[in-house]
Amino acid sequence: MPIRTQIGIVGAGPAGLLLSHLLARAGIDCVIIESRTRDEIEGTIRAGVLEQWTVDLMNRMGLGERMMREGHFHRGITLQFDRQRHHLDFEDLTDGKKVTVYAQHEVIKDLVAARLAGGGQIIFGVSDVKLEAIETDSPRIKFRRGADGAQEEIACDFIAACDGFHGPGRQAIPAQVRNEFQKIYPFGWLGILTEAPPSWHELIYSNQDEGFALLSTRSDTVQRMYIQCDPADKIENWSDDRIWGQLHKRLEIADGWKLTEGKIFQKGIIGMRSFVCEPMRHGNLFIAGDAGHIVPPTGAKGLNLAAADVLVLSRALRSWYRYRNAELFDSYSATCLDRIWKGERFSWYMTTMLHKNPQETSFEQKIHLADMKYVVSSRAASQALAENYVGLPIDIDDV
């Protein structure tokens, strides 16, 4: 017999998990399936900068207790160029909004624990996932538990594919219907985790002659740092000494401040890209989060855009089950994409302004320098950056 539920959710990342909580709050039943194990999704260390409204939403739903206890709350960020630092005070520029640094895997831990404690069903470690009959009123999700389990089926009213860029969700939308937009950047990030105390009180975004660097944090004892590199480079080419040497060159200035070193216990290279799929709905299938869009991490938008997607979707589903009103289904894709493209623009802007692009001319590099100088010298420009960074307005009063 198939598992019967109202909403079948594919993917137990932030989007799928947050959607399950929003639906439960509205009295709507759902089942989540996830290809990885619980240990894998909770142990995959990923960055996490939360917009103010995302923090407010977590707290409103009773999910933010540990975040408020262990997260790092910053008044703003520091931009560094020409060997000088410039603090952008977001709290002042945005009427009190802050930056919250709380890693994505920690958000996932909180959401999983609360969902299971509330009686929610999450099936981990599935394989061979197929989405069927999405153009009918009775879509189905077929899967196996583990690699060798018998085929099972979830019968549902709607499918929410929150399964990431490589999942089957977006691919279930016919190719002739999908419009996909992508930009591949000619640089990547080499990221490290190091056992060290914080070196600075907020994030530093540095654009120096040697290239971009980002100083971030994870906790009082673990720090996250990145340096721009060739995305095709091999991590074996980067000894710890070489990494620290580049971080010192790209982050230190002439005021005597020194970066605190520690034991590097994780390092890797990731490429940078921007991606959007239109539309985000086909039949009774809705895609959300990384299934529909990817942003370079420079703008700190990924998790927050995913949260906005599922907030919009939860409202559409709530309207349907309460009033049999399909109007918000019809506007789901356009509503999400309006915010997504603004997030894509900001992420592209931060990425192009702060990196050394080997494909650009010296004229273009001078324009980026002028842009940084304008941002730190104009309150209007600083406010525009701050408003985008802490999160464009979104209403959560009805949650």
Q: Which residues are catalytic?
A: 74, 205, 297, 301, 389
Q: Please spell the DSSP secondary structure of 159-171, one letter per residue.
A: EEE---TTSHHHH
- Residues 6 or more apart whose CB falls under 8 angstroms from that of 174 comprise 282
Three-state SS at 205: strand
Give the position of tokens 């304008």.
374
Question: Residue 92 and residue 371: Cα distance in Å, rounded?
Answer: 21
- Residues 6 or more apart whose CB falls under 8 angstroms from that of 49 comprise 99, 100, 101, 203, 300
The CA-to-CA distance between both ends of the chain, in Å, stands at 34
The strand pairing partners of 204, in sequence order, are 78, 215
Give the position of tokens 């409202």.
315
Contact yes or no for 287/170 (Cβ under 8 A): yes
CA–chain centroid gap for 21, Å, is 18
Contact yes or no for 187/272 (Cβ under 8 A): yes
Residue 40 DSSP label: H
Q: Please spell the DSSP secondary structure of 58-123, one letter per residue.
A: HHHTT--HHHHHH-EEESEEEEEETTEEEEEEHHHHTTS--EEE--HHHHHHHHHHHHHHTT-EEE
What tokens appear for 103 in the block? Answer: 């890693």
Main-chain dihedrals φ then ψ at residue 268, nearest 5 degrees? -170, 165
- 55's enclosing H/E stretch is helix 52-60
Give the position of tokens 């000088």.
84
What tokens appear for 159 in the block? Answer: 């499918």
- Residues 6 or more apart whose CB falls under 8 angstroms from that of 85 comprise 78, 79, 204, 253
Three-state SS at 396: coil
Q: How far is CA 111 from CA 13, 225, 314, 382, in A?
A: 9, 26, 16, 34
